[in-house]
């Protein structure tokens, strides 16, 4: 192997800046492992939860889980050097009950998640804010369609695949939807629902700037203070439990409510059981996704990336060395995703 070390940005704990470090590339890959040189990573909001201490992570560690890259070493059949790929953010065993019986590989008994593992674990190359990552044997690796720019493909393995999972089952009929929160998950939801032929996708967000994007992705922005019409489905992607009462109110009898955004502990609900059962509602919590959701997401991008302006959602790339600036830019909410290029 020509290169011998990887550049990484290390997270040392909440409130501390990232620090550049190097880590040796593995001399040998274990059976099933794949070494990827990262082309582009994007900063997901869940990393901000980790950085702010709302979610714990072993330290030091390499954060970052949304990325695309090129295979530079492979000990797995079917994955060849030179391929441009993305991968599932969860590595799972394939044998335990969540993997084999419950259809929830993302809840595997032996789960490993990229961007959430200690630097001392394995090769240390466990996250995407780095020049390289070592993918483990239980990770699904998928080729990225050639026409897709890196900036369009990078968020697929977290944000988009999660939305594909969240919207896999729709109520019957499903003609009107309310999407609460116009971060990247909300934008993908508009695009995915309009792709599936749903014409009325109402969108709610406190930020006029975020709402201004939704029309281009098939959504209908709700003016501040207006109530949506009665809908068949509500999707929560704000992360705020304050919207839940309004969502329940908007649903028709028999409607579905899907919760995706409230991934941190401060999500106590102000809701009565009566409000849910009298309307015969179905509530579904969605966390991450299974490999087929990522495959469907990549197909969807390949079919729609020339029709929908996905590229404008991602910032021009900053070099890996400027990750701290990239985090600040993410906090400014100027972009749906800030891109980092090793
Ligand atoms: Zn994420
Ligand atoms: Zn498992």
**pLDDT tens across 200-255, in order?**
999 999 999 899 999 999 999 998 888 899 999 999 999 999 999 999 999 999 99
Q: What is the pLDDT of residue 2?
A: 53
What's the full length of the chain, in residues?
342
Give the confidence band of 266 by pLDDT, cuts at 50, 70, 90.
confident
3 state SS of 187: helix
| φ and ψ at residue 184, rounded to 5 degrees | -60, -35
Q: From the CA of 199, how far away is ligand 1's center (Å)?
A: 28
The bound ligand whose nearest atom lies closest to the alpha carbon of 263 is 1
149-to-159, 194, 284 alpha-carbon distances in Å? 16, 22, 33
For 16, residues 6+ apart whose C-beta sits below 8 A from its C-beta are none
Instruction: Judge contact between 76 and 32, C-beta under 8 A.
Output: yes
Residues with CB under 5 A from ligand 2 (ion): 92-93, 96, 99, 108
Average pLDDT, the chain: 96
**Distance of alpha carbon 311 from alpha carbon 51, whole angstroms:** 26
**Distance of alpha carbon 47 from alpha carbon 244, whole angstroms:** 24
Q: From the CA of 125, how far away is ligand 2's center (Å)?
A: 22
Percent of the chain whose pLDDT exceeds 70: 99
1 pLDDT higher than 60: no
The bound ligand whose nearest atom lies closest to the alpha carbon of 91 is 2
320 pLDDT higher than 50: yes
Determine which helix (DSSP H) or strand (DSSP E) holds 255, and give its type and residue range: strand 251-259
**Distance of alpha carbon 86 from alpha carbon 122, whole angstroms:** 20
3 state SS of 9: strand
Q: From the CA of 254, how far away is ligand 1's center (Å)?
A: 31
Q: From the CA of 19, how far away is ligand 2's center (Å)?
A: 33
The bound ligand whose nearest atom lies closest to the alpha carbon of 109 is 2
Q: From the CA of 104, how far away is ligand 2's center (Å)?
A: 9
**Distance of alpha carbon 95 from alpha carbon 270, whole angstroms:** 39
Q: From the CA of 226, how far away is ligand 1's center (Å)?
A: 31
3 pLDDT higher than 70: no
Q: Model confidence over 19-56: pLDDT tens digits?
A: 999 999 999 999 999 999 999 999 999 999 999 998 88
Q: From the CA of 118, how far away is ligand 2's center (Å)?
A: 20
Q: Which residue has the tokens 């890259």?
A: 69
Instruction: Judge contact between 42 and 338, C-beta under 8 A.
Output: yes
Count other C-beta atoms under 10 Å from residue 140's C-beta: 18
Bigger pLDDT: 322 vs 2? 322
In the predicted model, what is the mean pLDDT of residues 116-124? 95
Q: Is 146 exposed, middle or buried (0-12, 13-18, 19+ CB in 10 A)?
A: exposed
pTM of the model: 0.96
**Distance of alpha carbon 240 from alpha carbon 97, whole angstroms:** 31
The bound ligand whose nearest atom lies closest to the alpha carbon of 66 is 1
Instruction: Judge contact between 284 and 276, C-beta under 8 A.
Output: no
3 state SS of 47: helix
Count other C-beta atoms under 10 Å from residue 141's C-beta: 18
For 286, residues 6+ apart whose C-beta sits below 8 A from its C-beta are 162, 165, 166, 258, 259, 260
**Distance of alpha carbon 156 from alpha carbon 23, whole angstroms:** 27
């Amino acid at each position: 192997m020509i290169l011998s070390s990887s550049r990484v940005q290390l997270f040392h704990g909440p409130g501390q800046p990232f620090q550049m470090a190097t880590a040796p590339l593995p001399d040998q890959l274990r059976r099933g492992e794949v070494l990827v040189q990262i082309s582009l990573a994007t900063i997901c909001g869940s990393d901000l939860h980790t950085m702010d201490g709302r979610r714990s992570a072993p330290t030091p560690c390499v954060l970052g889980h949304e990325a695309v890259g090129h295979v530079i070493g492979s000990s797995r059949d079917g994955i060849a050097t030179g391929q441009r790929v993305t991968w599932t953010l969860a590595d799972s065993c394939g044998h335990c009950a969540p993997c084999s019986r419950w259809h929830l590989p993302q809840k595997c008994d032996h789960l490993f998640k990229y961007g959430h593992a200690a630097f001392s674990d394995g090769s240390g190359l466990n996250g995407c804010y780095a020049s390289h990552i070592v993918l483990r044997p239980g990770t699904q690796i998928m080729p990225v369609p050639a026409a897709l720019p890196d900036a369009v493909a990078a968020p697929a393995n977290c944000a988009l695949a999660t939305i594909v999972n969240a919207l896999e089952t729709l109520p019957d009929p499903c003609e009107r939807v309310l999407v609460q929160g116009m971060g990247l998950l909300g934008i993908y939801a508009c695009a995915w629902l309009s792709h599936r032929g749903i014409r009325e996708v109402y969108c709610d967000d406190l930020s006029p700037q975020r709402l201004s994007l939704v029309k281009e992705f098939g959504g209908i922005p709700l003016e501040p203070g207006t109530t949506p019409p009665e809908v068949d489905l509500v999707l929560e992607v704000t992360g705020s439990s304050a919207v839940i009462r309004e969502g329940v109110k908007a649903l028709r009898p028999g409607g579905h409510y899907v919760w995706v955004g409230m991934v941190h502990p401060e999500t106590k609900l102000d809701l009565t059981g009566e409000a849910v059962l009298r309307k015969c509602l179905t509530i579904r919590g969605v966390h991450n996704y299974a490999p087929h959701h990522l495959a469907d997401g990549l197909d969807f991008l390949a079919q729609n990336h020339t029709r929908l302006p996905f590229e404008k959602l991602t910032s021009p790339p900053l070099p890996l060395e400027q990750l701290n600036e990239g985090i600040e830019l993410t906090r400014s909410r100027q972009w749906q995703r800030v891109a980092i290029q090793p």
